[in-house]
Amino acid sequence: MECDKYQSPLVSRYASVEMSHNFSDRKKFSTWRKLWFILAKAEHKLGLSITAEQLQQLEANIEITKDEIKKAKEVEKTCRHDVMSHVQVFGETCPLAAPIIHLGATSCFVGDNTDLIVIRDAITILLPKLARCISSLSDFAKKRAELPTLGFTHFQPAQLTTVGKRTCLWIQDLISDLSSLQILHESMRFRGIKGATGSQASFLTLFDGDGHKVTELDRLVTELSDFKSSYIITGQTYPRKVDAEILFKLASLGSTVSKICTDIRLLAHLKEVEEPFEISQIGSSAMAYKRNPMRSERCCSLARHLMTLCQNPLQTAATQWFERTLDDSANRRICIPEAFLTADILLNTLQNIAEGLVVYPKVIQKHIDQELPFMATENIIMEMVNEGGKSRQEVHEKIRVLSQQAGSVVKQEGDENDLVDRIRADQYFSCIHDKMKKILDPSTFVGRAPQQTQEFLSLEVEPMLIRYKDQLNIKAHVNV
């Protein structure tokens, strides 16, 4: 039974159906078969003795069955070679074509080219999900562009910003990740047909030394596999540095999501903003009142895993001897799928969070009221000088004394900040008593935050989302 074996929670618990399928055995081995068919089709076109009947038989059996996968596993136990076990099983399924399957190729023809196809398809899955996260947060930011809130530096109260402007800080990092993944997706290259050490010697022999046909074969196989170009130079594998670059971009996405979700967790502690919490959701098995930010915590936890995975391909790239060594194989079977599965989970969960973020303006206002009187002292001093003709130094001293008294009430007695009440009760400040409400208006302390929010969303975010406009209305599904 499945419950008697360890299963990766990335698949069994969290990941989407589409990303799980992308890294499945069925997708992998069916892609091997498709590549063998493409290779034979291109070789046939360039004059090798491959018949139309053989091609038809290969094409009709590209989709591998469960029984064939099971049979290939049994064969592999004997031959200890995964590719050759599938060559044998595919040949048994396609007896007419058996003599020409894998003709001139090495294992990396199917192995590496399939990996590149799967990675390309995985990025294709991620891109609209990332766009939807950006879109959902943009909608949230637009609605709260003018809502003042305490800014924090060092997690200490600082100048006011707006809820929308803070959200744009999150979006800006996601936009950077989207741009990076788009560039990666558009620039991906195929390994193509390169042979055992990258020299294409086996294919040159097949075509009786005709190098032009070998070049054309590489071009045809690349084109039929839906890639724009292939590497001119490889060893036996495509450059393992490519894997490191890909996983570093995913790790960067992980750091972005972790930062966003850490902020949300801190805001939840302040009771200013919360992730969605469902009616029947249980926050704690012991403390029934708890509303733990479990989605954000999950993102931070999995992002940590994603950020560590980029070390694997970096070490692999550093230790590839000459034209290749096989110590990359087992490692890559783990770190590449896990990186994409984890990124997929992060984006599904972040979108779900973004779609259901809850804001508590009265709590935000309460926190502003606790801190704004101190922040407004400079404005009060200037207004006193302008209206009452007082000396700045004299006003400063008066404000300093009252501020210290109010600070003592807050810290020593645990009461609310009463600096404003002290100013209103002091006749020294009578010339500005009727202006205190205006002086303490939070909207006058946010600078250009509302305008910055609108400019950023219209000038940077909206143009980036145009290509995904038909994919932005799909809701995120969180499994648990």
- In tens, the pLDDT along 237-288 reads 999 999 999 999 999 999 999 999 999 999 999 999 999 876 656 555 555 5
Q: Which range (11-15, 101-105, 256-260) has the least confidence?
A: 11-15
Active site residue 20: no
Query: What is the pLDDT confidence band of residue 367, given thresholds at 50, 70 and 90?
Result: very high
What is d(CA 349, CA 258) in angstroms, rounded to the nearest whole number? 12
pLDDT of residue 419: 86
| Dist CA 408 CA 272 (whole Å) | 26
Residue 16's pLDDT is: 94
Residues 154, 269, 280, 285: which is the catalytic one? Answer: 154
- How far apart are alpha carbons 318 and 250 in whole angstroms? 20
User: 191 pLDDT exceeds 70?
Assistant: yes
Write out pLDDT tens, residues 156-175: 988 999 999 999 999 999 99
Residue 410 has what pLDDT?
85
Mean of the pLDDT values across residues 169-198? Answer: 97
Q: Is residue 314 scored above 90 in pLDDT? A: yes
CB neighbours of 50 closer than 8 A, spacing ≥ 6?
Answer: 40, 43, 44, 100, 103
Q: Residue 44, class by beta-carbon neighbours within 10 Å (0-12 exposed, 13-18 middle, 19+ buried)?
A: middle
| Least trusted range by pLDDT, from 9-23, 48-62, 335-349, 384-398 | 384-398
463 — pLDDT class (breaks 50, 70, 90): very high
- State the distance between the two ends of the chain, measured CA to CA, in whole angstroms: 22
CA 448 to centroid of chain Cα atoms? 30
Radius of gyration in angstroms for the set of CA atoms belonging to the chain, rounded to a whole number: 31
User: Between 421 and 254, whose confidence is greater?
Assistant: 254
Distance separating alpha carbons of residues 321 and 57, to the nearest angstrom: 39
Q: Which of 337, 127, 328 is nearest to 238 (CA)?
A: 328
Model pLDDT, residue 287? 59
The burial class, CB within 10 Å (0-12 / 13-18 / 19+), for 80 is exposed
Among the residue ranges 312-316, 317-321, 376-380, 423-427, the one predicted with the least confidence is: 376-380
pLDDT at 290 over 70: no
**Nearest Cα to Cα of residue 364 among 169, 171, 144, 172:** 144
Look up the pTM and report it. 0.92
Q: Averaged over 218-224, what is the pLDDT?
A: 98
Q: What is the pLDDT of residue 321?
A: 93
The question of whether 180 is a catalytic residue gets the answer no
pLDDT surpasses 70 at 1: no
Give CA angle at 144 (141, 146), nearest 5°.
120
Q: Where are the domains of the chain?
A: 2-104, 377-439
Q: What pLDDT score does 286 carry? A: 56
Cβ atoms within 10 Å, residue 362: 9
Give me the pLDDT at residue 47, please: 95
Indicate if the pLDDT at residue 44 is higher than 60.
Answer: yes
2-104: CATH, from 1.10.3720.10, 2.100.10.30, 1.10.275.10, 3.40.190.10? 1.10.275.10
CATH topology of domain 377-439: Ribonucleotide Reductase Protein R1; domain 1 (1.10.40)
Task: Look over the chain and give the mean of its residue pLDDT values, rounded to a whole number.
Answer: 93
Burial of 281 (0-12, 13-18, 19+ CB in 10 A): exposed
What token pair was written down for 402? 């009252």
> Tokens for 76?
């592999």
pLDDT at 381: 87
pLDDT, tens digit, for every residue of 45-102? 999 999 999 999 999 999 999 999 999 999 999 999 999 999 999 999 999 999 999 9
Contact 187, 196 (CB under 8 A): no
Q: What is the pLDDT of residue 376?
A: 84
- Place 403 in a pLDDT band, splitting at 50, 70 and 90: confident
Beta bridge partners of 161: 149
Q: Which of 134, 76, 27, 195 is nearest to 464 (CA)?
A: 134
**pLDDT-based confidence at 407, cuts 50/70/90?**
confident
The catalytically annotated residue of 49, 284, 301, 458 is 284
Mean pLDDT score, 106-135: 97
